[in-house]
Amino acid sequence: MPTVLITGASRGIGKALADQYEGDGWDVIRTCRDPKGAGIPDALKLDVTDHDDVCDAAEALSGRPIDVLINNAGVIGQRDAALGSIDYRLWEETFRTNTLAPIRVAEALVANVAASDRKTMVFISSVMGSIARNAGGHYLYRSTKAALNAAMVSVSRELAPRGVICISMHPGWVQTEMGGPTAAVTVPDSSTGIRRVVAGLQSSDNGRFYDYDGAEIPW
């Protein structure tokens, strides 16, 4: 039975991914900041921005292979940021969640992933992190996702000799709390697409950036 670990699995895309993988017979490790408060007391407590939490999770999972690690947890930051009104403290917090945290989790669990059969790391990013497609605005979210993409490429190069495949994934503009009710993609469609892309990954996909429908996104 393959194993998947999903951060931010208490709601939205993370929850949908966890439910779908579980429905297909996978061993699912759900993680979130407050399992009891989220109504999933069996989930692994993991605040991805907390160094001690990440270390505790890595210790609890020591020796357990993880076929697919999905770094899903993220925040939008300041939606209306513009020159003259940027909240720099919030920018730093957004950077910690969207950029530093996924790399910290990947670093902590690299041995688990490398010991598995599928050896896959997925970093949930956004097309808003694409410099080629930057239409302006959203300073915090765009920059932290662009930085995540750059870090993912470095991770992919470092782990390639160990057979690990790393990708950045745009989940679509999804009808979640972050995306809002007018977003174009439903949560089930996004998670289904993500899983389809992940299932078809090969070594040649390492270090690339994909949309949930399988299309490659320019950096």
Question: How confident is the model at residue 177, as a pLDDT?
Answer: 66
Residues 21, 139, 141, 212: which is the catalytic one? 141
22 in Cβ contact with 29 (< 8 Å): no
Which class for 31: exposed (0-12), middle (13-18), buried (19 or more C-beta within 10 A)? buried
Which class for 32: exposed (0-12), middle (13-18), buried (19 or more C-beta within 10 A)? buried
Question: How confident is the model at residue 173, as a pLDDT?
Answer: 79
Question: How confident is the model at residue 174, as a pLDDT?
Answer: 77
Neighbours of 163 (CB within 10 A): 13
DSSP state of 37: T
Question: How confident is the model at residue 179, as a pLDDT?
Answer: 67
Q: In whole angstroms, give the CA distance from residue 219 to residue 210.
A: 10
Per-residue pLDDT of the chain (219 residues; tens, 9 = 90+): 999 999 999 998 999 999 999 999 999 999 999 999 999 999 999 999 999 999 999 999 999 999 999 999 999 989 889 999 999 999 999 999 999 999 999 999 999 999 999 999 999 999 999 999 999 999 999 999 999 999 999 999 999 999 999 999 999 877 776 666 776 788 889 999 999 999 999 999 999 999 999 999 999
Domain boundaries defined on the chain: 3-211
Nearest to 71 by CA among 34, 50, 100: 100
Q: What is the CATH number of domain 3-211?
A: 3.40.50.720
β-pairing, 27-32 with 120-124?
unpaired
Identify whether 141 is a catalytic site residue: yes
Neighbours of 199 (CB within 10 A): 11
Question: How confident is the model at residue 139, as a pLDDT?
Answer: 96
